[in-house]
Amino acid sequence: MQTIHQVFLSFLLFVAVLSTGCVQQPVATPEDEADGLLPRSTGLDRVSAVYAFDLSGAKVYLEPVGVAYSKHSRNVGSPLRAEDYELRDKDIAKLQDVMGETFSERFLSPRRSALVPDKSEADYVMQLDLSRFSLGAPLDPQPWLWRVYTDQSAYGVLSGELKDRNGNAVMRFSDRRDIGENFGNLGPSGRFERFTSVTFWRDMKVDLRRAFASLDESLR
């Protein structure tokens, strides 16, 4: 005869298995359903694609990356403004290069596909965006700030949409990203680290590689 303790443990196991099963069942959004995109199991927040998605040997054009910022509240007495936490034109250009490099390296290359500079010769067009983007500190050096320490390099929601030459969506994804692999840890190992443009771009490249590697696995 089972004891109350055994029955309780069996119930907890049943709930855990049921919860795991629910988590593993991705749900399509209305937009994806309208475009015939099927949700995929993924380590990212959301990935959907057409049935039998295949990008082998394709030429892909990367649209200019879009960036939308989180509202940044100004601290009383701080000389920094909200725009000090935004990317300059030169930073956007560099972000475009880093996005293209990492997307090609971790997602296109395994499929023997490649980016092309001319949109007219592309089989597909990719739009990548960072929304709710927030820098840990200003990228440009400030004369009154010698050193700045933050708990992470940046935060943002990375999303993308791939369309064929007829403008039909064939793949979408989105994922919340804490950018900075050593930042934001809780517990004894949690700590603030010095923020510089060098560490930001290093962390950004590492994080994008991870994101696009996860996207690659989701669509295999």
What count of other Cβ atoms lies within 10 Å of the Cβ of residue 81? 11
The larger pLDDT score, comparing residue 185 to residue 216, is at 216
Q: Residue 8 above 80 pLDDT?
A: no
Q: What pLDDT is recorded for position 140?
A: 75
Q: Which of 36-40, 131-135, 177-181, 206-210 has the lowest mean pLDDT?
A: 177-181
Taken in order of first residue, the domains within the chain and their CATH numbers are 28-218 (3.30.160)
Q: Residue 108 above 70 pLDDT?
A: yes
122-171 pLDDT per residue, tens? 999 999 999 999 887 788 766 555 566 677 788 999 999 999 999 999 99
- Whether the pTM exceeds 0.75: the reply is yes
Angstrom distance (rounded) from CA 216 to CA 108: 8
Angstrom distance (rounded) from CA 219 to CA 88: 34
At position 3, the amino acid (one-letter code) is T
pLDDT category of residue 191 using cuts at 50, 70 and 90: low
Angstrom distance (rounded) from CA 197 to CA 153: 9
Angstrom distance (rounded) from CA 29 to CA 35: 10
Mean pLDDT of the chain: 83
Q: What pLDDT is recorded for position 187?
A: 44
Q: Residue 71 above 50 pLDDT?
A: yes
The percent of residues in the chain predicted with pLDDT above 70, rounded, is: 74
